[in-house]
Structure 1
Amino acid sequence: MAEVKKRPISVLIVTEYFFPTIGGVERHVYKLAEYLIKFGLKVVIFTRNFGNRRVGIRYLSNGIKVYHHWNVMFLPPSTTPTFFDAFPYYRSVLIRENVDIIHMHMASSRYKGEFELCANLLDYRLIFTDHSLFSMCDIGPVFLNEYTRMFSIFDDHMVAVSNKHRENMVLRSYIDPRKISVVPNALESDDFKCNEEPLLKDKIVIVYISRLCERKGIDLLTQVVPIVCKKHDNVDFIIGGGGPKLSMLRGMVDKHYLHDRVKILGYIPTHEVNKVLRQGHIFLNTSQTESFCIALLEAASSGLILVSTDVGGIPEVLPHDIILLSEYDPVAISNKIDEAISMLQTADTSSYHQRVKQMYSWESVAKKTLMLYYDVLNKPRMTFREKLYKLLRKKKIGGTNIHTLILFRVLSFYSFDHFIHFLGHIRVPFPKVFPYTIKYKNLTMTLGVILSWHQIGLRRIEKIKKTR
């Protein structure tokens, strides 16, 4: 008798941060998906559209299937949340791809709350990875923290990228610490190699590569550069990256007449970052807050001494003989740069690459994530009564969700799951009335429209079958 092969675990990674845009979250998602496929899992990515052309289903070169869902941009890269209008599409993707686990990324993503609500109704397992530290006093983060707190009851497990980040998640969202694991970021160290021959020390180059925005401490950088240039005649700066604060940097260069000392490169493609890093001796980071800074790993792997602000999870990233930490102050940063310059004569920067390679790898990240998947799949599912009890404790969203949960149970007796695969090969008209369901405050009406959409689709299928 032939053995029946077990199907691989199917994972749907949900995020608004993905290629073709470039960033830490985008690389994390891509590399995690790549290594999970190597371990035998089926990985599908669900993300937003990028312009009018990148909509629908795309396949990446390594075989990853990507759903680009059309959205209206709200605050880039976040899109406008609607909660209910896309439920039929989400459900169709989940059933068609035979999903076992939904892995969501970033608290600020539109899809986080929507997939948590949808997956809770459909009894899917949920894992959520956050990548950013958030304040507990500003109005925007306070709203986001409350949003995370309300919907975290649906998550089976959560992931932070550093211990400091884990602590921040617990404090701002009142989440049980036992529900959060720490899985750090990593890098592909073979893409960031040291110079074969050491650079000359008579001209010292400090490299700064980052998004040029307020959170990355550009205000601090504009104060540090003139101080260092005034103290050291043999120090130059290379600044790379694009963003809203680029004009501020150019204004600083004009104000202090540093055109021959500061080179501003603008946006740098990913494949050229190592080439720029290898031109320098010291890497500078002036972030206001960081949960985990991948740029520091890239610079250390390229053989640079690091100088950074002592914020967030940065002290956990690398040993103190590689990175020098400073208070968020221009004078303190310039003093640490002086210390880094004196270290250049004695530090063995050629060994940094191998040390970083041993400490961080995407294979290790994927293995830890895979263990979390197994743990979540082995946990018993929440019963209908347990879900009702948890929702009752959430007064702000409990009533609406209890209403939804009970109604969905009733509608589940009229399930059309066996038609989902057939729908994937037939274009079913999308009713013009559907976008207006956002305006309905009564969820019963919204789900009624969803059911009517299914009926329209079924009637169209029956007509097609009769014509064959």
Structure 2
Amino acid sequence: MPYNIAMVSDFFFPQPGGVESHIYQLSSKLIDRGHKVIIITHAYAGRTGVRYLTNGLKVYHVPFFVIYRETTFPTVFSFFPIFRNIVIRERIEIVHGHGSLSSFCIEAILHARTMGLRAVFTDHSLFGFADAGSILTNKLLKFALSDVDHVICVSHTCKENTVLRASLDPLMVSVIPNAVVAENFRPLSYSSHRSAPGPPPRISPQDTITVVVISRLFYNKGTDLLIAAIPRILASHPNVCFIIAGSGPKAIDLEQMIERNVLQDRVEMLGPVRHEEVRDVMVRGHIYLHPSLTEAFGTVIVEAASCGLYVVCTRVGGIPEVLPTHMTEFAKPEEDDIVEATGRAIRALRAGKVRTELFHNQVKQMYSWTDVAQRTERVYDGIMGELSHDQFYQGVGVSGAWSATRGRAGMQSFALIERLKRYYGCGIWAGKLFCLCVIVDYLLYVCLEMFAPRSRIDICRNWPTKDIRDGKEKDPGLPKDDKERKETNARRVDSHYHDHD
């Protein structure tokens, strides 16, 4: 059945990035499948209020203060009145948060559960366990996921990391990878045939090989390794040049390296590029270099392979799961190994050992946003009770004790006392603080229901969409079953209050 879904994250367009692209593509495909999807994010420069994107995707740009890397200042409770108003206006049933470091995401999951809504979280990142920043982030993640219905990770490595960081039961975590719109990342000489005739192309020693790097220029993306490796790679291979696109605090270090080594004619820095311009940059190269220190998935390397580039990347996080070995040359996250791996890739291309002209069709068969949307939809069916417990966990042995505590299909209870029990187990001091936050959030919700009743909030009309499953256009006004939906929501709210009493 169709659902009303709110995607919540601090990270969305116009900022480029993997999380932003994931949210947009997933939302578009869910709309194609007949669901209603809105996006809640913070205001960007020139974008405040409500915007409509392609396919009727509505975006709420909430004006909140941004502190670091497009992350809003965590306020915990001040976001609740605005969030509640949007959720009621759009008749949201499922809140889907994205990003461990997103304040909007963490707060939205808390408020959604207080309002009696189902909540899903998608983790796109990997974090450690030793440094102070990781410890704080992991504790916040534990707070957010203590009362979530289901968790989605973009790779199996990401799942293991998230389960350990948030002390989750592995059965409530699914792995659904990112994807790529292969049609938007075609190589210059694209052939629709599965196999190209003739011998593989060779690049003579006199021809220039271009290495492309498209990344945010931050420490965790391996920019320091890149700065150290580029002069050595260029010194060993005369007919090689670099194209670097991206922005960040490490950009000044890259520019200083170029000036210090007098490499202006062999290293081109493009600065930030829009996502629709990424393909135009990639097709100028032969090799894509990705020296990241940590990565949960790495969508950009799939895009590079789809453009026909041979990928040199570090063997960290979920990167080894993304592409088959014949498309990649792996290296340790060390300067010497990156130099050696890039050299092997250059020699392989010159010898004609790599069939990069076949990569696009192979990537097209491996990744599809339609498949991602279908698998995400199945998660929604599970948490909404459309699938039975056995159907949702088909092929997985589920312990009776665990299933008994979560109910049908492993759904979390909305009862306040049950929620407090889950939060109380987060730590000696943190557990008490988390319980206090939940109680205050619930009291704020009661006050809002009393002094800003739902009857005063106008219900939005739906954008006309076509469900690709039956080819019928949906009514742009209120749905025909709106009365039934209102009665269901009323029963849910009554049950919600009854459980708390």
TM-score by length of 2: 0.79
The CA deviation at 1:76 is 2.9
Partner of 2:396: none
- The answer to whether 1:69 aligns with 2:71 is no
2:382 aligned with 1:382: no
Residue 259 (structure 1) shift: 2.0
Counterpart contact for 1:391–1:401, Cα < 8 Å: no
C-alpha distance after superposition, 1:202-261 (max 9, x if no partner)? 221111111112111111111111111111111111112222211211211122222222
Report the CA distance between 1:199 and its aligned residue. 8.3
Q: Is the CA contact (8 Å cut-off) linking 2:111 and 2:441 kept in structure 1?
A: no
The alignment partner of 2:6 has SS state of strand
Task: State the distance in 2 between where 1:257 and 1:406 align.
Answer: 62
For 1:75, the aligned partner's letter is Y
Aligned to 2:476: none
Is the contact made by 1:95 and 1:420 (CA closer than 8 Å) also made in structure 2? no
The one of 313, 319, 335 aligned to 2:318: 313
- Sort the Cα spacing of 1:327 and 1:96 in 2 relative to 1 into closer, same or farther, 3 A: same
2:53 paired with 1:60: yes
* Residues 301 and 390 (structure 1), Cα distance of their counterparts in 2 relative to 1, 3 Å cut: same
Identity %: 38
Q: What does the per-residue CA deviation read over 1:334-380, in whole Å, with 9 as the maximum and x for residues that have no partner? A: 11122112221121111100000100111111111111110110145
| Cross-structure match for 2:237 | 232
- Describe the SS at the equivalent of 2:97: strand
Query: Once structures 1 and 2 are overlaid, which stretch shifts more, 270-279 or 21-30?
Result: 270-279
The answer as to whether partners of 2:149 and 2:412 remain within 8 angstroms in 1 is no
Q: State the 4+ residue runs in structure 1 displaced beyond 6 angstroms.
A: none
Assess, with a 3 A threshold, how the Cα gap between structure 1 residues 213 and 402 changes in structure 2: closer, same or farther. Answer: closer
Equivalent position SS for 1:273: helix
Residue 263 of structure 1 aligns to a residue whose secondary structure is: strand
Contact 1:24/1:294, CA 8 A, preserved across alignment: yes
Aligned partner (choices 161, 170, 174) of residue 154 of structure 2: 161
CA, structure 1 residues 260+398, in 2 after alignment: closer, same or farther (shift >3 Å)? closer
Structure-2 separation of matches of 1:409 and 1:223: 54
The answer as to whether partners of 2:116 and 2:414 remain within 8 angstroms in 1 is no
Unmatched 5+ residue regions in structure 1? 1-5, 426-468
User: What amino acid maps onto 2:380 in structure 1?
Assistant: Y
> Could you tell me whether the CA contact under 8 Å between 1:96 and 1:420 is conserved in 2?
no
Deviation at 1:412, TM superposition (A): 8.8
Shift of 1:415: 7.9
Worse-superposed segment, 98-107 or 390-399:
390-399
1:337 to 338, 342, 355: 342
- 1:458 match: none
Q: Which range is displaced more, 158-167 or 54-63?
A: 54-63
Superposition map of 1:41-440 within 5 A: 41-51=35-45, 53-196=46-189, 200-201=203-204, 202-344=207-349, 345-378=352-385, 379=409, 380=411, 382-384=413-415, 385-394=417-426, 395-401=431-437, 403-404=439-440, 407=443, 414=450, 417-422=453-458
Moved more, 316-325 or 381-390: 381-390
**Cα distance in 1 for residues equivalent to 2:334 and 2:424:** 47
Return 128-137 or 80-89, whichever deviates more: 80-89
1:133-183 superposed Cα distances (whole Å, 9 cap, x missing partner): 112112112101001112311100011111111111112221211111111
Q: Deviations over 1:110-132 (max 9, x none)?
A: 11232222112111100001111
Code of the aligned partner of 2:85: S
> What secondary structure, in the 3-state scheme, does the structure 2 residue paired with 1:321 have?
helix
Q: 1:79 to 1:383 in 2, by over 3 A?
A: closer
Q: Is the 8 A contact 1:56 1:68 kept in 2?
A: yes
Report the secondary structure of 2:59's partner residue.
strand
8 Å CA contact 2:287–2:312 kept in 1: the answer is yes
Query: Aligned to 1:154, what secondary structure does the other structure show?
Result: coil
Indicate how the Cα distance of structure 1 residues 412 and 111 shifts in structure 2: closer, same or farther if over 3 A, else same.
Answer: closer
**In the superposition, relative to structure 1, how do residues 329 and 419 fare at CA in structure 2: closer, same or farther (>3 Å)?**
same
Specify the SS of the correspondent of 1:254.
Answer: helix
SS in 1 for 2:146: helix
Q: Does 1:23 align with 2:17?
A: yes
Name the residue aligned to 1:429: none
Deviations 1:34-70 (A, max 9, x none): 000000000011110113x422222113201111111
1:413 shift after superposition: 8.3
Q: Deviations over 1:399-453 (max 9, x none)?
A: 414634774797698486442434989xxxxxxxxxxxxxxxxxxxxxxxxxxxx
Which AA in structure 2 matches 1:419? S
**CA deviation after TM superposition for structure 1 residue 200, in Å:** 4.9
Secondary structure of the corresponding residue to residue 26 of structure 1: helix
Q: 2: distance between equivalents of 1:238 and 1:303?
A: 16
Alpha-carbon distance between aligned partners in 2 of 1:295 and 1:287, rounded to the nearest angstrom: 11
Return closer, same or farther for 1:199/1:49 CA change in 2, 3 Å cut-off: farther
Asked whether the equivalents of residues 15 and 109 of structure 1 are also in contact (C-alpha less than 8 Å), the reply is yes
Distance 1:383 1:10, change over 3 A: closer
Within 2, Cα distance between the matches of 1:211 and 1:17?
14
Contact 2:308 2:358 in 1 (8 A): yes
Preserved CA contact (<8 Å) 1:121 1:408: no
- CA displacement at 1:383 relative to structure 2: 4.8
Whether the 8 Å CA contact 2:77–2:441 is kept in 1: the answer is no
Between the aligned partners of 1:71 and 1:54, the Cα distance in structure 2 is 12
Gaps of 5+ in 2: 191-200, 386-408, 462-501
Conserved 8 A contact 1:92-1:420: no
Residues 1:413 and 1:248: Cα distance change in structure 2 (over 3 Å): closer
Distance 2:437 2:227 in 1: 49
Instruction: Decide which moves more: 199-208 or 405-414.
Output: 405-414
Q: Residues 407 and 331 of structure 1: is their aligned pair in 2 closer, same or farther, counting only changes over 3 Å?
A: closer
Q: Distance in 2 between matches of 1:78 and 1:398?
A: 21
CA RMSD of aligned residues (A): 2.2
The structure, 1 or 2, with the larger RCO (C-alpha pairs under 8 Å, 6+ apart) is 2
TM-score w.r.t. length of structure 1: 0.84
Give the distance between the partners of 2:20 and 2:66, measured in 1 at CA.
Answer: 18
